[in-house]
């Protein structure tokens, strides 16, 4: 994760500019993304994702595809989506490791000899219905679209990191080049054209399911109807829109 101090001068200049030109950049961003397909009607959708834990093989193709699609830096500590490997030992203790970091460093954590089971958990922004990241942003650079996606307006973002600290899922990072907050958008530029997010498209085992939460005929609706589902950190009242099936109780 980038820990360089923010450029104070550009921060102050940006803040002054935003105070002089209130709200409008966010609306423009939303219009531009939605205009990727002029037929696209955001009001007709409300998106979510399903993840089938028992189908994820930990290949990491989703992480690679996301980086390629969304100009996420190649370094292993920047990601919009990532895959964690959970190893449970004979004392029922869980060890968690981000696969991307492990592939980069060659290190493995945990006591492999005592491991009794392991599984993979893909993670990403939960596109929360009650998002703390939106609440803390001092300039409304982070906002929620009518189709339920949380986006960041790079022109408004100050790089203050409040949203990064507020997200309880570690789903945001500061882009090292743009110096603005970045995170998963469900590939908004793709879904506005009727395409699936890149991670969903490349997954060889269909572990990820993308769709409309309010459409009765969607694959996501069927997945939700047919499976016992869990969401991450439900006690925080963030109302995630990423739903997991076959999620182990050790996952946090």
Binding site for ligand SF4 (CB under 6 A): 56-62, 83, 120, 122, 125-128, 131-133, 150, 167, 169, 171-172, 183, 202-203, 205, 207-208, 238
Strand order through the sheet with 115-124: 94-98, 81-89, 115-124
* CB distance 50 to 223 below 8 Å: yes
- Which residues lie below 8 Å from residue 235, measured CB to CB, with a gap of 6+? none
Shortest gap between Cβ of 135 and ligand SF4 (angstroms)? 9
Type and span of the H or E element at 157: none
Shortest gap between Cβ of 30 and ligand SF4 (angstroms)? 16
Shortest gap between Cβ of 59 and ligand SF4 (angstroms)? 4
**In DSSP terms, which residues pair with 230 in a beta bridge?**
244
Shortest gap between Cβ of 16 and ligand SF4 (angstroms)? 26
Closest CA to 150 of 160, 162, 163: 163
Instruction: Give the three-state DSSP class for 143.
Output: strand
* CB distance 223 to 245 below 8 Å: yes
Shortest gap between Cβ of 137 and ligand SF4 (angstroms)? 10
- Strands 242-245 and 47-52: what pairing? parallel
Shortest gap between Cβ of 176 and ligand SF4 (angstroms)? 18
Q: For ligand SF4, which is the closer residue by CB, 10 or 237?
A: 237
- Which residues lie below 8 Å from residue 14, measured CB to CB, with a gap of 6+? 158
**In DSSP terms, which residues pair with 17 in a beta bridge?**
none
Instruction: Give the three-state DSSP class for 120.
Output: strand
């Amino acid at each position: 994760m980038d820990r360089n101090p923010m450029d104070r001068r550009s921060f102050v200049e940006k803040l002054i500019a935003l105070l002089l030109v209130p709200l409008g950049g966010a609306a423009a961003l939303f219009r531009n993304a939605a205009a990727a397909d002029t037929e696209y009607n955001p009001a007709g959708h409300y998106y979510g994702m399903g993840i089938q834990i028992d189908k994820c093989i930990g290949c990491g193709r989703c992480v690679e595809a996301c980086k390629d699609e969304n100009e996420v830096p190649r370094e292993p500590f920047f990601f919009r989506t990532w895959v964690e490997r959970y190893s449970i030992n004979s004392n029922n203790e869980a060890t968690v490791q981000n696969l991307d970091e492990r592939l980069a460093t060659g290190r493995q954590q945990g006591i492999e000899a005592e491991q009794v089971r392991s599984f993979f958990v893909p993670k990403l922004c939960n596109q929360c219905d009650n998002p703390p990241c939106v609440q803390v942003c001092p300039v409304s650079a982070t906002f929620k679209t009518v189709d339920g996606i949380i986006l960041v307006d790079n022109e408004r973002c100050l790089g203050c990191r409040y949203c990064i600290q507020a997200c309880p899922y570690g789903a945001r990072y500061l882009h090292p080049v743009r110096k603005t907050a970045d995170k998963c958008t469900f590939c908004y530029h793709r879904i506005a054209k009727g395409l699936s997010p890149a991670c969903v498209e490349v997954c060889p085992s269909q572990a990820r399911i993308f769709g409309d939460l309010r459409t009765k005929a969607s694959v996501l609706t069927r997945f939700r109807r047919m499976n016992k589902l869990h969401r991450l950190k439900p006690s925080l009242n963030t109302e995630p829109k990423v739903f997991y099936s076959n999620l182990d109780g050790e996952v946090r």
